[in-house]
Every structure is written in structure tokens, then in C-alpha cells.
A and B are shown apart, each in its own frame.
Chain A
Amino acid sequence: MEMIGGDDTDTEMYGALVTAQSLRLRHLHHCRENQCTSVLVKYIQAPVHLVWSLVRRFDQPQKYKPFISRCTVNGDPEIGCLREVNVKSGLPATTSTERLEQLDDEEHILGINIIGGDHRLKNYSSILTVHPEMIDGRSGTMVMESFVVDVPQGNTKDDTCYFVESLIKCNLKSLACVSERLAAQDITNSIATFCNASNGYREKNHTETNL
């Protein structure tokens, strides 16, 4: 038993190493002298396909991002296309122009660059990936978002990182809420479907006996 247990742990650790390695590769950023970079992780109690269905909509970030009021994309949301995002009031921006750099439905990778807008995030580049993860015995999701951005004049690297991290934390928290609500609805719907189905079955039986 001990031997098997040990083997399991080794395998798990090896698996973890591979995962960490592959994640690091996906979130590689070139960070120059005047830039800062960081990565954030969020666990969500909703299946990957659900979370990814929200994340992949480059044309509808407002579906989960709490600071965006409107978004317009000209043409199909494909690699290289631009979105014009309206930012809600109270934030240090009103608009942002962003380009879709990477959208991989197999590997679940979304890459976006910010190329304009009335804000101080210059040369901003971000990568968001989602991964299946067991959470409390249920199929959940781990979301990783990394970024690199210029440190603007008058701010420190630390300030800049802290600010962007705050925004991303809000986005990921909101992503978790929306996904988990959708997941709960899914369960409710499937229960309802099941109930309806079994009711139908019972009614059918009933009719048969009547006959």
C-alpha cells in the first residue's frame, strides 16, 4: 500500500511539474526594463467549457468584466481584429482599443493587446488560459491571466503592477460569479429536464394502465 501511495504522489508531483512547465510557456512575456509583469490565478467552481464560453467572446467582454459598459467589433471577431471598449464612469479611462492576438479553442488560450484609448496602459499585452481542475470533488476550472505593460512616468513598477492586478482580480472574481451562476442554472435546468422526463414517463404509464 505504501509503495502504491508513494507512486501516486510521485506521479502527481511529476504531473504538477509538467503542468507548471507548460503553463509557464503559455504565459511567457518579454518584459523590458521599463515594464512590469505579473500573473494571477483564480479557481472557479464551474466546468471549463462554461468558463471558456465566456472568456472566448472577444466581442462581448462586458458579459463578465464589471468595468465595461459597451463593446463594438467591426466584422468577425477573428485574429487581428479590433474591439472598441467603453469603460464605465469612475475609472481612470473612458475608452480602450484592443486587438485580438490569439484565440485557441483547443488549448483555451486568449491573447489580447491594448493598442489605444484614453488611459495610461501603454504596450499592454495579456494572455488568459483556462484549465480543468478538480475542486471539492467536482469538475472546476483554474484561470490564469498574465500581463506585461509599460510603467508610466510618475509611477513605480510596484504601483503599476498593483493597479493592473487590482483590475484583473475584479475581472476574475466577476468571471467566477457569472460562471458559477451559469453552472448552477445548468444543474437546475438538467434537474428540471429530468423531472419533466420522469413525469412524462409516469403519465405515459398511467395512460397505459387506463387503457
Chain B
Amino acid sequence: MAGICCGVVGETEPAAPVDSTSRASLRRRLDLLPSIKIVADSAVAPPLENCRKRQKRETVVLSTLPGNLDLDSNVRSENKKARSAVTNSNSVTEAESFFSDVPKIGTTSVCGRRRDMEDAVSIHPSFLQRNSENHHFYGVFDGHGCSHVAEKCRERLHDIVKKEVEVMASDEWTETMVKSFQKMDKEVSQRECNLVVNGATRSMKNSCRCELQSPQCDAVGSTAVVSVVTPEKIIVSNCGDSRAVLCRNGVAIPLSVDHKPDRPDELIRIQQAGGRVIYWDGARVLGVLAMSRAIGDNYLKPYVIPDPEVTVTDRTDEDECLILASDGLWDVVPNETACGVARMCLRGAGAGDDSDAAHNACSDAALLLTKLALARQSSDNVSVVVVDLRKRRNNQASS
């Protein structure tokens, strides 16, 4: 199955360095995909020709077989992140015996060519029951400046959203999500005060490399693209330049619009707030930050705001999957290509009742998209979440 979906990449994506070999060797190589192993910290990274200075030093993900090296040597990852990604899909599988309508999800999150891992992924199936319906939470956070804001979003945002949804009057999703993001932003800013006051939040101090403790460390932020999936709807809230794309009957439908400083409405908003957008290696707020909204980044307020844009989409029988990813993917892989890859992986697994196969198909899709991004020389951390949206009726019946 993996062979099939990878074959598709080779055929439809001549730009990717997957294509140059014979069919047989291609299949042989791609059959190895699911068998990728995370090697211990001591593993030595093979020299990487195209790699610039932005490398990860401590940890590497490698394939066990040299036949796969041309692709896999590019897959570098922070061990913990990759492990937690793997664990995520495992725990989902385990939970299946308790919930019959557990969604099929695949996630990958790798450091790539960057010096540090600052992406975070948050997966919380059935994080909330409302009107006896299961709601699922998925989020991708791409940190900048340091990792601690993205980490905090991973730890907290689903809880904040849950609390807000529980007191939501009717289906006021936009208002609820905006409130949740603002609360998240406040918590991130307050962490700094807490640190000064009681010296607590040890976990944070250990996990991030901030030389400065706040209130000076306010030059740190994160994107947030969050999706709440209900049996009826897909709610996507976005703040920054990560993205959610729905694959519906083979068509890629973006459910969020990137917050770039040169987006006309964002440019006007920033200027009206008294800020300026300067083209310095791309459009940047004050010439510094290349996105116009983010959680955190206190030093750029009020030009950079934490308010998300929210879309609410009715689910249909034609929905195939939802892809959430950081710009490490979207910078080098267009929406349509990503959808094509994910779709073929899911089709390979079939829409049947075998939920293990569906899980694996989602994991394959996420992994394959990540590898494609790395093969296309993505210079950033790459995080991908693929959610299977098929068989909606069955899910509903069982919930």
C-alpha cells in the first residue's frame, strides 16, 4: 500500500528526487517507509550535501537499510518529538477498544534542517462530549524565538477550548475560538510574571533554551492552527502561517488563510495600529516577524495579534481527509499535491472497516508528506497531521 501511494508521488511529482530510479527499486525503497526506525542519540548523521548551517546536531532519524538512505538521510528529527508523534497514533489505536468512533489520525513532526525543534502537535480525540456528540481536537503550533510558546499551546489550548465550548451558548464557534486563543495568549504572557513571582514552572525552564527569563523573553511566539471536528462540522481556527486543508472528492479546499504581513487586509490593519511592514527577506512586521498574527510575541503588540480567523465547514460524504501542517510543509508542497498524496494513501488502505489499516494509511500520508517536504529542501521544522474524515455515517451511528 505504501508502495502505491509513494509511486504516485514519484509519478506526479517529477521535481521530487524520488523519481529517478526504476520502478522496482522505487517500490523496494518505498516499501520500507513504515519500517523507519528512530535511532538513538548516538547515531551519526550522514553528510548532507545540500544542508545549510541550520542543522540539528543532537539527534537523527535514520532508516535501517542503506537502500533508503537517499530519502531518509534527509529525515532528521528531534527524537522526543518523533517519538511522541508515534506514541500519539499508538495511543489512539489503544483507545479504540473504548470508543468505537475513534478518528483515524496520522502525525509526523520532525526538526528537519533547522537547528532547533520548535514545532508542536496536539492530538486529543474525543476531548469533549457535547449534545452527546464526540468532538475531536487537532492542533499544529510552529514556534519562533524559542519553543516554549508552542509547547504551552500543546499543553493547554485543548483544555482552554474545552472550557470555553462547555459554556458556549449555541453554535457561536467564532466567538468561542477567538476567546480561547486570547486566553491562551494571556497565559503565555503571564507565565513570565509567574516565573518572576514564584520561580515556578520548572518544566518550562528545563524544556526551553531561553537565556532570558521574562519579562524580557517576550520576543517568543507561535502560530496556531486548530481544528475541532464534530460529527457535523469542521471548525478551523488559525493564527499565523500554518494551514488547514480539506481534501474533498479530490479537491483541495483551504480552511484557513495564512496571516502574512503583506496580505492586503492585514497590511492595512498593521498600519492602522501604527506599525510598518518592511520587505526584508520577505514581508515582515517592523522588518522582523514574517507573520502578522501569532500567540505570544508581546513585543510586537498591537501589530501582531493573537485573534484567530475561524471557518466553520459542514461535513459532507465526499470529505476524505483534513491536513494540518506547519509552513515547513506548505512552503514546498502545494495544497493540491498534499491532498493528492494523502488521498492516494487513504485509497490504498480502502475505506473499509479495517481501522488499523486506516490508521496506518493516515500515518503513511503524514510521513510521506513530511518526506516530500524534506526532499524538496524544506529548511524548516515539518509537522503534519492527517485526519481521515470518511465513513461519517458509521461514526455518527456509533456515537
CB distance from B356 to the nearest CB of A (A): 37
Q: Which residue of A69, A94, A154, A177 is within 8 Å of B216 (Cβ)?
A: A177
Pair A163/B212 contact, Cβ less than 8 Å = no
CB < 8 Å neighbour of B280 from A92, A95, A174: A92
Cβ–Cβ contact A89 & B114, under 8 A: yes
Cβ contact within 8 Å between A162 and B278 = yes
* Residue A202, interface by CB 8 Å: no
Select one of B211, B281, B288, B290 contacting A69, CB under 8 A: B211
Chain A-chain B contacts (Cβ-Cβ < 8 Å), number = 85
B145 at interface, CB cutoff 8 A: yes
Place the interface of chain A in its size category: 20 to 34
A166 & B280 in contact (Cβ 8 Å cutoff): no
- Name the prevailing secondary structure of the A interface residues: mixed
Contact of B212 among A159, A167, A174 (CB under 8 A): A174
Question: A62, B276: Cβ atoms under 8 Å?
Answer: no
Q: Is B183 an interface residue (CB 8 A)?
A: no
* B211 in contact with A163 (CB, 8 Å): no
Q: Indicate whether A163 sits within 8 Å of B144 (C-beta atoms), given known contacts A66-B217, A66-B299, A170-B299.
A: no
Q: For residue A187, give the distance in angstroms from its CB to the closest CB of chain B.
A: 15
Report how far A63 CA is from B279 CA in the complex, Å: 29
**Contact string against A for B residues 218-258, beta-carbon threshold 8 Å, 1 for contact and 0 otherwise:** 11010000000000000000000000000000000000000
B179: interface (CB < 8 Å): no
Known: A66-B219, A69-B211, A170-B219. A88 touches B288 (CB 8 A): no
Q: Are B145 and A155 in contact (CB under 8 A)?
A: no
Given contacts A69-B211, A163-B286, is CB(A90)–CB(B144) below 8 Å? yes
| Binary CB contact string for chain A from 55 to 69 against chain B (1 if under 8 A, 0 otherwise) | 000000011101111
Question: In the bound complex, do residue B286 and residue A94 qualify as a contact, i.e. CB atoms below 8 Å apart?
Answer: no
Quick check: B299 and A88 within 8 Å, CB to CB?
Answer: no
CB of B140 within 8 Å of the partner chain: no
Grouping DSSP codes into helix (H, G, I), strand (E, B) and loop, the B interface class, with mixed when no group exceeds half, is: loop
Neighbouring B residues of A86 by C-beta, 8 Å: 115
What are the interface flags for A167-191 relative to B under an 8 Å C-beta threshold, 1 for contact and 0 otherwise?
Answer: 1001001100110010000000000
A127 to B290 CA separation, bound complex (whole angstroms): 28
Would A92 and B287 count as touching, CB distance under 8 A? yes
* B interface list, Cβ under 8 A from A: 53-54, 114-116, 118, 143-146, 196, 209, 211-212, 215-219, 221, 276, 278-282, 284, 286-290, 299
Given contacts A66-B212, A89-B118, A159-B279, 20 further A-B contacts (CB under 8 A): A64-B212, A66-B145, A66-B299, A67-B145, A67-B219, A88-B144, A88-B146, A89-B144, A89-B145, A90-B221, A91-B288, A92-B280, A92-B287, A92-B288, A92-B290, A94-B53, A155-B279, A162-B278, A170-B299, A173-B299
Q: What is the interface of chain A, defined by CB distance below 8 A to chain B?
A: 62-64, 66-69, 86, 88-92, 94-95, 118, 120, 154-155, 159, 162-163, 166-167, 170, 173-174, 177-178, 181
